[in-house]
Amino acid sequence: MSTDNFIFRMATTVMFGKGIVAQLPTKVKEFKKDKVLIVTDKGVRQAGLLAPIEKSLADAGLHVAVFDDVEPDPGLDTIHQGAAFFKEQKSDFLVALGGGSPMDTAKGIRILADHGGHIRDYAGMNKVPARSSIPLVTIPTTSGTGSEVTIFAVLSDWEHNVKITISSPYLAADLALVDPLLTLSAPPRITAATGMDALAHAIETYVSNLAQPPADTLALKAIALIGANLRAAVANGSKPEPRTEMSLGSLLAGMAFNNAFLGITHSLGAALSGHAHVSHGMAIASLLPYVMEYNAMADLGKYGDIALALGEKVEGLSLRDRAFAAAEAVRNLTEDINLPSRLREFGVKEEDLAGMAKSAIGHGMVKMNPRHPNETELFDILKKAL
């Protein structure tokens, strides 16, 4: 794969706009199904986002059931519980309402409803045997994961303290309704952590070994949107404009990394989440600047582009200084939005790092990283971040 040889896939239809979620009942009916299971979580319910959607579906004459037992960074048991509930309710349609956790849970439920077995059997690339007959609509309420359009589901295997990724083109939702107004209620800390996850998606995919022109274009635009709006979204979450730009930024980043994949911030982040039970966004935010410093020498030009997209003054700087300005810009952003920038703030100890490096080196995204690390180098990055 290179600049003149690439495949760009986008299996999910996207409808974007303030209030677009009102289209849901009409869209469900277009699929000629009528027993909807909404997969969500208690936080989304408490924020008042579920009730109007549930009512709009019921008012349209559809049968609605709700599975709201999804926890952040969901475990494998949750997927099995959701699949059992889907079967019990005789549902034939899935709506995922929430952040990456409910969206990935719905993807997992769909796999089990179609093919049975244990969800762990589908971990890795292309283990899902066929396209689903159950339509899935994703409705994101965070500006973060991009899961509304991605071919990935990331789940926590607490038996082995690792995050597993299921990746298959058959995981992509049929329709994503991206309504920025649903993100207004996200509290500052969740806005900050999920926003840094979206930024990491855009940055990692832009420098990935599988980088390609369409994904590059989406990623650079996403970096600029997130760089210009994340602070404002954290400072005053009730303003629709920065929220709309963040929703767009995380969507574009999702479309990009669906095609050009990610790098070792996500490998180390998965290890950190597995070992120390740190939420995905927080883990990613704490690691990103250190990984950027490590990676910069692999592609000074592209890291310079990132600095520029983040609004840094790069005129007159050497290529090397531009590249390192990108890492510094991300570090300043993390600090401004009050996220931890040291692993010790999560209770991580030096003796934990070797196990984390060992688990990260086996992660699928290491191969896509612009610089090829060995286990010792991953350990060194973690030590710097400690």
Ligand X SMILES: NC(=O)c1ccc[n+]([C@@H]2O[C@H](COP(=O)([O-])OP(=O)(O)OC[C@H]3O[C@@H](n4cnc5c(N)ncnc54)[C@H](O)[C@@H]3O)[C@@H](O)[C@H]2O)c1
Q: Which residues are near Fe ion by CB under 5 A?
A: 197
Nearer to ligand X, 73 or 312 (CB): 73
Which entry of Fe ion, ligand X, none binds 144, CB below 5 to 8 A by partner kind? ligand X
Q: Three-class SS of residue 220?
A: helix
Instruction: By CB under 6 A, tell whether 72 contacts ligand X.
Output: yes
Which pairs count as long-range contacts for 111-116, CB under 8 Å and 24+ apart, including other chains?
A: 111/153, 111/166, 111/171, 112/79, 112/80, 112/83, 113/83, 113/86, 113/87
Binding part of the chain for ligand X, among 11-19, 52-60, 144-152, 360-368 by CB under 6 A, reads 144-152
List, in sequence order, every residue forming a beta bridge with 66; answer none if it has no partner: 38
CB of 28 to ligand X, least distance (A): 21
The contact pattern for ligand X, residues 241-280, with x = CB under 6 A and - = no contact, is: ---------------------------------------x
Alpha-carbon distance of 261 to 140, in angstroms, equals 20
Alpha-carbon distance of 345 to 64, in angstroms, equals 42
Least Cα distance to 187 among 229, 224, 235, 144 occurs for 235
Nearer to ligand X, 194 or 212 (CB): 194
Nearer to ligand X, 21 or 323 (CB): 21
Nearer to ligand X, 176 or 296 (CB): 176
Q: How many helices (H) and strands (E) does the chain have?
A: 14, 9
Binding part of the chain for ligand X, among 26-34, 100-108, 297-305, 338-346 by CB under 6 A, reads 100-108
CB of 209 to ligand X, least distance (A): 19
Kind and range of the H or E run holding 78: helix 76-88
Q: Which residues within the stretch 153-212 sit at the binding site for ligand X (CB under 6 A)?
A: 153-154, 182-183, 185-186, 190, 194, 197
Nearer to ligand X, 67 or 152 (CB): 152
Q: What is the DSSP letter of 311?
A: T
Binding part of the chain for ligand X, among 22-30, 54-62, 145-153, 316-324 by CB under 6 A, reads 145-153
Q: 81: how many CB neighbours lie within 10 A of its CB?
A: 17
Binding part of the chain for ligand X, among 4-12, 99-107, 324-332, 357-365 by CB under 6 A, reads 99-107
Nearer to Fe ion, 197 or 312 (CB): 197
CB of 189 to ligand X, least distance (A): 9
In Å, how far are 40, 137, 165, 183, 240 from 175, measured between CA atoms? 17, 5, 21, 18, 23
Burial letters 317-332, b for 16+ CB under 10 A, else e: eeeeebbbbbbbbbbe
Q: Which residues contact 327 (CB under 8 A, 6 or more apart)?
A: 289, 292, 293, 296, 303
Give the residue, chosen from 28, 36, 38, 41, that forms a contact with ligand X under the rule CB under 6 A: 41
Indicate the residue whose CB is closest to Fe ion. 197
Tokens describing residue 185: 């209620």
CB of 109 to ligand X, least distance (A): 14
Nearer to Fe ion, 91 or 208 (CB): 208
Tokens describing residue 84: 């059992």
Alpha-carbon distance of 272 to 342, in angstroms, equals 12
Nearer to ligand X, 200 or 314 (CB): 200
CB of 324 to ligand X, least distance (A): 26
Interface positions with ligand X (CB under 6 A): 41, 43-44, 47, 72-73, 98-101, 104, 141-142, 144-147, 150, 152-154, 182-183, 185-186, 190, 194, 197, 280-281
